[in-house]
Amino acid sequence: MARSLSRPKSKSSTQRPTKRAPRKAPSERRHAQRGNLQLLTAFRGLDDGQESFTGFVRALNLSAVGALLESPDEFTIGQKLAVEFLLDNNRIAQADARVARVTKREKFYHVAVEFFRVSPQARRLIDKQIAS
């Protein structure tokens, strides 16, 4: 028994083309919305849960899952930090983070951190900061 093969129907000129979501660059792995900002951020280095060093950096962007920090000091990939962001509403959002990437810039280091512990209240504050 012979089968009849038919060609796919062409779209008529009255049909609107479907919109596709913009593609992310191959190196772009962000899945969360980020807010570009400049927030004063305090940090404490955590060495097996013990405080080892403290300081201040500037947060250049912030998301529900991480942040990009600017620092005059170099950090080590995998290093654990407790961070406290001073938000625009004068509230503080705290999170525990791990250094994921360090990039040397002209005068500063850009330090990408991923949060591994964020309270629900801090998450709400961060989400509110990003939305504003």
Q: Judge whether 6 lies within some domain.
A: no
| 28 domain residue, yes or no | no
What is the value of pTM for the model shown? 0.71
18 Cβ contact partners less than 8 Å away, ≥ 6 residues apart: none
Q: Which of 125, 7, 21, 5 shows the shortest CA–CA distance to 64?
A: 125
Question: Which CATH number belongs to the domain containing residue 83 in this structure?
Answer: 2.40.10.220
Tens-place pLDDT, residues 21-79: 444 444 445 455 555 679 999 999 987 756 578 999 999 999 999 999 999 999 999 99
Residue 76 lies in a domain: yes
Structural domains in the chain (count) = 1
Look at residue 67 and tell me if it is in a domain: yes
- The whole domain housing 61 covers 35-131
Answer for the pair 90, 106: CB distance below 8 angstroms, yes or no. Answer: no
Contact 43, 54 (CB under 8 A): yes
Q: What angle do CA 80, 121, 64 make, to 5 degrees?
A: 55
Is 13 contained in some domain? no
Residue range 68-126, pLDDT digits in tens = 999 999 999 999 999 999 998 899 999 999 999 999 999 999 999 999 999 999 999 99
Residue 1 included in any domain: no
